[in-house]
Amino acid sequence: QVQLVESGGGLVQTRGSLRLSCAASGIPFSLATMRWYRQAPGKQRELVATITSSGSTTYADSVKGRFTISRDNTENTVYLQMNSLKPEDTAVYYCNALNRFSSHWGPGTQVTVSA
């Protein structure tokens, strides 16, 4: 019943920009904490950004000043605006929804930054 679908990934050059979207269904979206994670091959999944139901945001040190997380509760969508991209940002990016009862994951979208 719960479904998260990421989109917007692709290939960009160093210093380029990309905006990821995550569309949620089957969840009380406005009450959920939404998060973006990323995972490079052979590495641990890393928390990138968080936005709470009240709109508070937090970021990993590696992306502060470059990435912005936002949400549109009318469209049940969370976004990740990525600027000044670096090759080390290359990873599969995953959307996660968290509420007091459960946690849900999308299938991920590939982001590749070429040097």
Class of residue 59 by CB neighbours under 10 A (exposed 0-12, middle 13-18, buried 19+): middle
Q: pLDDT at position 100, please?
A: 87
Task: Say how far apart CA 83 and CA 36 lie, in whole Å.
Answer: 15
| Percentage above 90 pLDDT, the chain | 97
Structure tokens at 33: 């904490």
Question: Whole-number mean pLDDT of the chain?
Answer: 97
| Percentage above 70 pLDDT, the chain | 100
Task: Say how far apart CA 64 and CA 70 lie, in whole Å.
Answer: 14
Q: pLDDT at position 14, please?
A: 98
